């Protein structure tokens, strides 16, 4: 009989295939941070309220604190560490840097991942649409104006790249 209290989670994280032996109900967040050393994904509230642990799972933004390891099996995970290309920041990362989108930084990886999902989904620079895309992410520094500015800038930067 298969072990009900341990699984070998096989999935792709930031383009790399991984296999991690773990209790099946362990949070993806803990697997990423503690087993894979990917501490960019933050533990904020642990109950789906703050968005600090946002990652992409099969292209959709999800909360790593609410995904058990057994449900990440066979998926493709992207964390904030997986956005740059050989050290060149992604448009979203660069825009947060350029526009002061980070203050204390705890919410930033989650904000960046939610914004990344928004850009990948073809989002526009419309402020209301960006606000909805980031509605699941809290910034306790209340630096929202700069964050919205950053995402809008990333959208425009991407549009520029598409034209070039």
CA distances from 135 to 24, 46, 58, 110 (A): 29, 17, 21, 11
Count of positions on this chain that bind other proteins (CB under 8 A): 38
Interface of this chain with other proteins, residues 136 to 155, rule: CB under 8 A: 136-138
Q: Can you tell me the distance from the alpha carbon of 47 to that of 102, in angstroms, rounded to the nearest whole number? A: 23
- Residue among 71, 94, 120, 141 that touches other proteins (CB under 8 A): 71
157 binds other proteins, rule: CB under 8 A: no
Q: 78: which strand partners?
A: 56
18 binds other proteins, rule: CB under 8 A: no
- Residue among 46, 94, 98, 156 that touches other proteins (CB under 8 A): 46
125 binds other proteins, rule: CB under 8 A: no
103 binds other proteins, rule: CB under 8 A: no
Give min distance, CB of 131 to other proteins, in A.
9
Neighbours of 3 (CB within 10 A): 10
Q: Can you tell me the distance from the alpha carbon of 101 to that of 128, in angstroms, rounded to the nearest whole number? A: 18
Q: Which residues are within 8 A (CB) of 57 and not within 5 positions of it... i.e. 6 or more apart?
A: 28, 67, 72, 75, 76, 77
Tokens of 114: 């939610």
42 binds other proteins, rule: CB under 8 A: no
Give min distance, CB of 115 to other proteins, in A.
11
Contact residues toward other proteins (CB under 8 A) are: 4-7, 22-27, 30, 34-35, 46-49, 51, 54, 60-63, 65-68, 70-71, 73, 114, 117, 132-133, 135-138
């Amino acid at each position: 009989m298969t072990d009900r209290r341990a699984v070998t989670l096989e999935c792709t994280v930031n383009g790399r295939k991984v296999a991690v032996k773990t209790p099946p109900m362990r949070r993806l967040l803990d697997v990423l941070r503690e087993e894979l050393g990917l501490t960019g994904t933050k533990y904020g509230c642990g109950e789906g309220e703050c968005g600090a642990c946002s990652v992409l799972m099969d292209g959709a933004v999800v909360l790593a604190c609410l995904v058990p390891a057994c449900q990440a099996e066979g998926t493709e995970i992207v964390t904030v560490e997986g956005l740059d290309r050989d050290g060149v920041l992604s448009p979203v990362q660069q825009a947060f840097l350029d526009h002061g989108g980070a203050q204390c930084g705890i919410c930033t990886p989650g904000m960046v991942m939610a914004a990344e999902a928004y850009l990948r989904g073809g989002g526009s620079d419309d402020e209301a649409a960006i606000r909805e895309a980031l509605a699941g992410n809290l910034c306790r520094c209340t630096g929202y104006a700069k964050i919205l500015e950053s995402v809008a800038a990333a959208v425009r930067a991407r549009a520029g790249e598409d034209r070039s």
